[in-house]
Amino acid sequence: MHPSQWDPKGGVAIGRNKNTIGLGGFALLADYEQERDGTITFTGHGVYTYDPKEDRYTLHWFDCMGSPPEVFVGGLDGHVLTLSHGGPGMHARMTYDYSTPGTMKGMMEMSPDGQDWKVLFEATYKRT
């Protein structure tokens, strides 16, 4: 975690993703938890879908922060999936790199205006 308004000091966390195929194979359901110092500090749930007519991916994200669900949209470029969401005062961009078998590298960036981006976190997840 990079220092930010949500985590002024930043620091290392353990993240766990449990992903399952759902809805008859038409969605990826993702449950996430973050642990720091032995305590779960953040949880979230995502529903990923693909629209072949639009050739775009969508993520509906819900988490323990209490904000309304966020909807991210984007596309796949080779082995890299980039999804973004924007609104007044806050834009977010998620990047998932699947180029290494058994590994997913992730990064989330935030921007107040959709122009000036700052990294919120970078992660490497290994399949177990």
Contacts of 100 (CB under 8 A, 6+ apart): none
Radius of gyration of the chain (CA): 15
pLDDT tens digits, 19-75: 999 999 999 999 999 999 999 999 999 999 999 999 999 999 999 988 888 999 999
Q: How far apart are CA 56 and CA 73, in angstroms?
A: 7
Show me where the domains of the chain are located.
Answer: 14-126
Q: What is the pTM of this model?
A: 0.89
* Architecture of the structural domain at 14-126: Beta Barrel (2.40)
